[in-house]
Structure 1
Amino acid sequence: MPGGADLDQLLAALDPWLDPTVLVYVRVPPGDEVPGGRAFARVEEREGTTLVVAADDAERQGLEPVFRCRRLELRVASDLGAVGLTAAVAGALAGAGIAANVVAAAVHDHVLVPDDRAEEALEVLRALSAAARA
């Protein structure tokens, strides 16, 4: 299912949704298997593997959190080649002093924001979308 690429249309249809699950970034040494086998995101680096997992799972597995966050799913279907969506979203959040870590998937983008600022981040993205519709 191809997504849209027009920035104005994408922003107008952003429809952000805040996942209630608290997530954490954790690191495991190179070559280690994912404890518990389930992660929202996994990135392999020379220094080791970064995982984004549910905070409860990380605690049960004795993994030390690096960053505590919540996931905002942008429910607009966006093309991976679309230009400017990540910049617009990150810029709006930066304007509010909120960190944004974006994970793009085949259909939707996901923005990982600090857990204690998640509700505020949701409102910032709703306002961004409303402004694009005006």
Structure 2
Amino acid sequence: MSGETNLSTLLSSLNPILNKGEYVFINLTEPNPMALAHCICFFKEAEGSTYILNRSKADEFQFSYDFVAAWITLKVHSSLEAVGLTAVFSSELAKNHIGCNAVAGYYHDHIFVAIEDGNKAIEILQKIPKTTKS
């Protein structure tokens, strides 16, 4: 199944959920099997590798981090080729002074916002189908 591409359908079916826990982004210049084993997302860049993991694991392994995030999953199965979804939700969050870091998985989009903005972000995302015109 390749996922939904129609923006109107995507927006009316977002179904955002706030995952339990606190999440952090760490950057390591050398591969780290412990970070990789416990991360929910990994991205390799020229400057180093970014791992997203539960804050408690980062603390356990004494990794340093600057940003503590809430993790929101949009339960709609969005296509990797869908156009406009990220623009809509990031714009709506920005209007409310909430920055976001988006990660696209094969089935769902995931949004990381500052931990203190998690509940407010959910409220905003739940209103998107009612407030946006696609």
Same fold (TM over 0.5): yes
Question: How far did 1:122 drift?
Answer: 0.3
2:88 maps to which residue?
Answer: 88
Determine the C-alpha separation between the residues in 1 that align with 2:18 and 2:40: 15
Determine the C-alpha separation between the residues in 2 that align with 1:16 and 1:22: 17
SS in 1 for 2:33: coil
TM-score normalised by the chain length of structure 2: 0.93
SS in 2 for 1:40: strand
Question: How far did 1:20 drift?
Answer: 1.3
Mapping of residues 41-52 of structure 1, within 5 Å: 41-52=41-52
2:99 maps to which residue?
Answer: 99
- Corresponding position: 1:65 with 2:62: no
1:44-63 CA deviation, whole Å, 9 max, x = no partner? 11111111000000000000
1:65-96 CA deviation, whole Å, 9 max, x = no partner? 12110111000111100000000010000110
1:14-72 CA deviation, whole Å, 9 max, x = no partner? 00000011100111113343436220111111111111000000000000112110111
- The 8 Å contact of residues 41 and 51 in structure 2, kept in 1 or not, is answered as yes
TM-score normalised by the chain length of structure 1: 0.93
Determine the C-alpha separation between the residues in 2 that align with 1:107 and 1:90: 19
- Tell me the C-alpha RMSD between the 2 structures: 1.5
Mapping of residues 16-35 of structure 1, within 5 Å: 16-35=16-35
Identity %: 29
- Which one-letter code corresponds to 2:29 in the other structure? P
Q: How many residues align?
A: 133
